[in-house]
Structure 1
């Protein structure tokens, strides 16, 4: 697997959500379209990717209003001074207070930080600052969209995480642990100090991709959930109640390499 495919694969298996390889691309709840590997079939040597190609939005296309889909609900809109993170199954949380000796002076001064330990195979972590979640509730209401011929077989964004800053970290094999921190915000009225507002690590191992912004604007979309606009197949364990009063949500969409092997 290439780095992008491995990162998406590890986090999706842990949280059933799609981590974005390019969080600066805005994704909105209600977007619908399809997933692609980003390569033609004949180019089998190219690394597989997981690209969401937007074809429309049920709110902008007036589909949601026609089929009674509720407006999205925003959770955590008031903001938070802490961090939110998602991690692979090969990763577990670590108490940063027990790893002071492994922290650099810059990291030790970070107001917010999180620590992680990895198995011998490494792992993946996504850390977000000032995160909020936009979702459609109840999720079962999206089943009404199965009546829309133009959406059949497509995927739909049902949840989106947006944040002001994020750090994506991939730990290679034999990386024991890492502490990830966000330095303090720059003084107001001094934009030049923005360059000192950044994510820092306790190790030089692994791959870090990050953005840190102190404007107060949640401009990054590093994680989102996709559901498949198809009926769940028999044998998946998904069943509605006998009287259909409590229909189940639509099945989760899968990354292309998982869908092709299922």
Structure 2
């Protein structure tokens, strides 16, 4: 299992959401398409990956309007400070302040303790959640032939700054923080945002944007339009209490998904103290 697949796998088991290996690739609620496994043709040397291939968007394609799917709702749009993080089941939160003197320049930081097997962490600054409410309204799309056997993005997390970390075995404790410091030699200049961490090994990637514009999508939820209905039936749009569409599963997990968490219980928040 390559690094990207391992990262996606670990966070999916905790959140039932898909973590993006490249959060700067645009993903929006309503995007629909399919999964494919393989390598981009221009990068035949790379390891095989799970790719969500977008084929359309139900809002731009006017499908949502025809089937009366509500417009997406944004939660936390006015949030201005704090970190939110998601961790794999084998990672435990620890008090970052107790790890002094690690990252003393950071007002925003979080600490993690990894098991001997390693683990995965996604940290976002000032994130927002975009979702479709009620989620059960998406069952109406089961009647759309164009979307048959496809998958659909039903929730997205967007942020201006993120840090993702895939820890190697025997990593131990790691602190990840976001600092805002003026450029060297220019104390009166606008502060530059930067992610810093105490890890000495593993795969770390980040983006820090001081503008506050939420251009990155590090995490999103995908549901399946393969017609799994209530009690094994496809289900009717007129059901008295229709259930949400089932979660889509990464291709390598199909038929065998031992999920570590039933929902977003692994989410923690840290605000400036």
- TM-score, with length taken from structure 1: 0.88
Work out which structure has the larger RCO, using CA pairs closer than 8 Å and 6 or more positions apart in sequence.
Answer: 2
Native 8 Å contact 1:239 1:248 kept in 2: no
Question: In the TM superposition, what is the alpha-carbon distance from 1:26 to its structure 2 partner?
Answer: 0.8
Native 8 Å contact 2:129 2:155 kept in 1: yes
Distance 1:203 1:150 in 2: 46
Matched residue, 2:74 = 74
Name structure 2 gaps, 5 residues minimum: 258-273
Distance 2:188 2:51 in 1: 39
Give a deviation string over 1:123-148, Cα, whole Å, max 9, x none: 00000001000000111100000000
Matched residue, 2:251 = 256
Equivalent positions of 1:1-262 (< 5 A) are 1-39=1-39, 47-101=47-101, 103=102, 107-184=103-180, 186=182, 190=189, 194=192, 197-232=193-228, 244-259=239-254
Pick closer, same or farther for the CA change 1:233–1:70 going to 2, 3 Å: closer
Native 8 Å contact 1:5 1:47 kept in 2: no
Pick closer, same or farther for the CA change 1:84–1:97 going to 2, 3 Å: same
Distance 1:246 1:233 in 2: 12
Distance 1:119 1:90 in 2: 6
Give a deviation string over 1:6-30, Cα, whole Å, max 9, x none: 0000001110000111111111100
Distance 1:60 1:170 in 2: 35
Distance 2:248 2:181 in 1: 38
